[in-house]
Structure 1
Amino acid sequence: MIDAVDTAGDQEERMISRGNTLLGTVLAVGAVVLLSGCGSSTDGDAKPVTASASAEPSLAADVPHTYDPCKDVPQGVLDSEKLHGKDPANGDADGGVKWRGCAWVRSSSYSVSIRTTNLTIDLIRSRNFPETTEFTINDRRAISTRQFDGPFIKEACTVDVEMKGGSLEFNLNNPKSTSTGSLDSCDLARSLAEKVVPSLPATA
């Protein structure tokens, strides 16, 4: 007979698993939409549309190599955010889009990937994602976007901070069922970026 009351550990494990699963989905859908442009949705499914052939910002040839998120994100920042469980989060998409970095999770809270990418701020802006917001961090251009079209759109947010030849990307998933679920995912992503970006080399 199955016990009707889960332990706290079981609940946390399920929340982390859901967070990691949704983060993976967000990353995959984000890659497709970045390449094809924003489209409409039906029953919560993303429906990318083909981008126009008009002139648009070009994609950098490769990700910036002056910063390795897996090694260079300060441990003090990870500790302050209680982030752990580092896993590789590299990715390549059709059209030459690349990501290199790692993903972390905060128990009973959000999960996040921090990666360098050859996507530039101008290229991301050109996609006209929902709730696109531009700002600066340490005198670097930055942009936050909602890149996931569906019932969980508010749970995910992507912040990109300008680097030479691309950007440093924070892709954060904050399920409503977690301890930080009442907080806006873009606020969390921006706050984390503000802690990490000072560790970027001046030449990056």
Structure 2
Amino acid sequence: MINAVDTAGDQEERMISRGSTLLGTVLAVGAVVLLSGCGSSTGGDAKPAVSSTSAGPSMAADVPRSYDPCRDVPQSVLDSEKLHNKHTVDDSASGGVRWVGCQWVRSNGYGVSIRTTNLTIDLIRSRNFPETTEFTISGRRVISTRQFDGPYIKEACTVDVEMKGGSLEFNLNNPPSNRDTGSTDSCVLARGLAEKIVPSVPDTA
């Protein structure tokens, strides 16, 4: 006889694993697109709008170290968003781009990676991503972008909050099949999460 509780638990673990894998794929795609720029697509392939060798805003040498998302994101926020299953993220890409932080998932909801990066607001703006929107949170410059072509364009959103020497990045993936959050735009979710977390970043960071 199959235990109903065990079956439900197995299903949730499979869902979490799938969400983490999909989020990791989105992050990897985003790194490539960010370095090459973003433009029109033909047959699902991104066409660079700005050459990676073009002169423009410089990139910081390392990620900001004054805020550790794995340790400093308030537990009260994680609880209110039902985020769990934390995994450490320490990624790099050609050209010297770095990301350091953690990723979480919400059962039947979105997955998010919250990381510090040496990518600055000005550099991200120079890539001309679709739906680039600028605003402020707690007096800090913020930029929201869609950094992915193909099937990820609407379900993924990246919000970067200005820090000294880079930014605090919220990279959120929200497939429409998710029962709890799938009907909400991923950029609305990413901005809302940033608005909850940014006040915990020290003024000196």
Is this a same-fold pair by TM over 0.5? yes
Cα separation, 1, equivalents of 2:36 and 2:152: 20
1:98-123 deviations in Å (ceiling 9; x for gaps): 00000000111000000000000000
Match of residue 132 from structure 1: 132
Identify the residue that residue 107 of structure 2 maps to in structure 1. 107
Q: What SS does the corresponding residue of 1:129 show, helix, strand or coil?
A: coil
Unaligned runs of 5+ in 2: 1-6
Tell me which residue corresponds to 1:93.
93
For residues 166 and 80 of structure 1, the distance between their equivalents in structure 2, rounded to whole angstroms, comes to 27
Matches within 5 A, 1:51-200: 51=51, 53-179=53-179, 180-200=181-201
Label 1:64 to 1:160 Cα distance change in 2 as closer, same or farther (>3 A): same
Deviation at 1:153, TM superposition (A): 1.0
| Counterparts of 1:54 and 1:48, CA distance in 2 | 11
1:132 shift after superposition: 0.4
**Residues paired across the two proteins, number:** 198
Give how far 1:41 is off: 2.6
- CA 1:173–1:52 in 2, change beyond 3 Å: closer, same or farther? closer
Q: Structure 1 residues 52 and 143, CA, compared in 2 at 3 Å: closer, same or farther?
A: same
1:26/1:147 contact within 8 Å kept: no
What's 2:34 paired with?
Answer: 34
* Alpha-carbon separation, structure 1, partners of 2:9 and 2:201: 36
- CA deviations over 1:41-70 (Å, ceiling 9, x no partner): 333344446616543100001000100000
Given that 2:49 and 2:128 are in contact with CA atoms closer than 8 Å, whether structure 1 keeps it comes out as no
Distance 1:50-1:133 versus aligned 2 partners, 3 A rule: closer
1:3 paired residue number: none
In structure 2, what residue type is equivalent to 1:77?
V
Kindly, what percent of the aligned residue pairs are identical? 80
Note if contact 1:15-1:177 (Cα within 8 Å) is conserved in structure 2: no
Match of 1:4 in 2: none
> Which residue in 2 is equivalent to 1:201?
202
Displacement of 1:126: 0.4
Taking only aligned residues, the RMSD between alpha carbons, in angstroms, comes to: 1.6
8 Å CA contact 2:39–2:129 kept in 1: the answer is: no
2: CA distance, partners of 1:131 / 1:49: 15
TM-score (norm 1): 0.91
What secondary structure does 2:129 align onto? Answer: coil
Instruction: Check conservation: 1:26, 1:148, Cα contact below 8 A.
Output: yes
Equivalent residue letter for 1:80: S
SS at match of 1:101: strand
Distance in 2 separating the partners of 1:36 and 1:161: 21
How far apart in 1 are the matches of 2:18 and 2:45? 18
Compute the displacement of 1:36 (Å).
1.1
1:96 alignment partner AA: G
Unpaired segments ≥5 residues, structure 1 = 1-6
In 2: Cα distance, 1:141 partner to 1:165 partner? 13
Q: CA deviation at 1:29?
A: 1.2
